[in-house]
């Protein structure tokens, strides 16, 4: 199963992803194709529910989510990528929740089949200076069945520097609930940006997940790396 690419159109507003893969472009950059999103949610510094401890009334107290961004399912906000990228000076600060605006959009209509859903999360540099992004975010889902940590996929992260107004984004792939039952209903996405320890919480914009994982050949719940848009 492959993810779609992300395009520059995400800078003006998150749009529907036409496939399931993020692909590297020009070393540090990752491009992706997209079209108009069906629904979106967003969180700014004032309403991301961040704190110096990385916890809040919305994102704390549930299993799987921590202020350090470490997930039991294999995703962590504190892991760097294997490469450094030519434009990512060690003097450039990392992109953190205090300098990022986080939004989420349902791009499931762009998936290859009706069993797979896609939620695209954008990390927009709203600060006044460059910051760098490198690696996988930590992502937990808050659901009616409790907190779920989302494992990483096998895609390669590409370190990049985001100028003010530029964005990185990542995809969350999930199995669509076609059972006819209520399934597992996510309510919020708790995001820890790569190499950060603080969290942002945004609303889950898509449908429910099946109550069971299904066969090994079915779509998986997994998250891709945060790569630069454009």
Report, as an integer, the average pLDDT of 173-178: 92
Residue 89 lies in a domain: yes
- pLDDT surpasses 80 at 62: no
Query: How far is residue 7 CA from its own chain's centroid?
Result: 15
Q: What is the CATH number for 157?
A: 2.60.40.10
Classify residue 40: in a domain, yes or no: yes
Task: Give the percent of the chain with pLDDT over 90.
Answer: 50
Q: How confident is the model at residue 128 (pLDDT cuts 50, 70, 90)?
A: very high
Residue 42 lies in a domain: yes
Q: Does residue 182 lie in a domain region?
A: yes
Within a domain: 4: no
Residue 1, domain member (yes or no):
no
Examine residue 98 and state whether it is found in any structural domain, yes or no: yes
User: What's the structural domain count of the chain?
Assistant: 1
Whether residue 2 is contained in a domain is answered as no
What range defines the domain where residue 24 resides? Answer: 9-229
Q: What pLDDT is attached to residue 40? A: 53
Q: 169: pLDDT confidence band, cut at 50, 70 and 90? A: very high
pTM over 0.75: no
pLDDT range class, residue 136, cuts 50, 70, 90? very high
């Amino acid at each position: 199963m492959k993810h779609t690419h992300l395009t520059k159109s995400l800078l003006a507003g998150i749009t529907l992803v036409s496939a399931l893969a993020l692909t590297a472009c020009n070393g540090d950059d990752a491009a992706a194709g997209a079209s108009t999103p069906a629904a979106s949610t967003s969180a700014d510094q004032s309403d991301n529910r961040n704190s110096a401890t990385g916890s809040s009334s919305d994102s704390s107290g549930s299993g799987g989510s921590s202020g350090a961004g470490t997930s039991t399912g294999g995703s962590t906000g504190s892991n760097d990528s294997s490469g450094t990228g030519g434009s990512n000076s060690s003097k450039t600060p990392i992109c953190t929740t205090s300098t990022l605006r986080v939004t989420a959009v349902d791009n499931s209509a762009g998936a290859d089949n009706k069993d797979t859903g896609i939620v695209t999360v954008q990390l927009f540099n709203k600060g006044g200076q460059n910051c760098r992004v490198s690696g996988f975010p930590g992502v937990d889902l808050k659901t009616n069945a409790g907190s779920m940590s989302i494992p990483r996929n096998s895609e390669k992260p590409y370190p990049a520097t985001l100028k003010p107004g530029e964005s990185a984004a990542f995809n969350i792939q999930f199995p669509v609930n076609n059972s006819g039952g209520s399934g597992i209903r996510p309510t919020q996405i708790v995001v820890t940006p790569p190499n950060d320890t603080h969290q942002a919480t945004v609303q889950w914009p898509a449908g429910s997940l099946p109550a069971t994982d299904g066969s090994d050949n079915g779509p998986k719940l997994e998250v891709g790396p945060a790569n630069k848009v454009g």
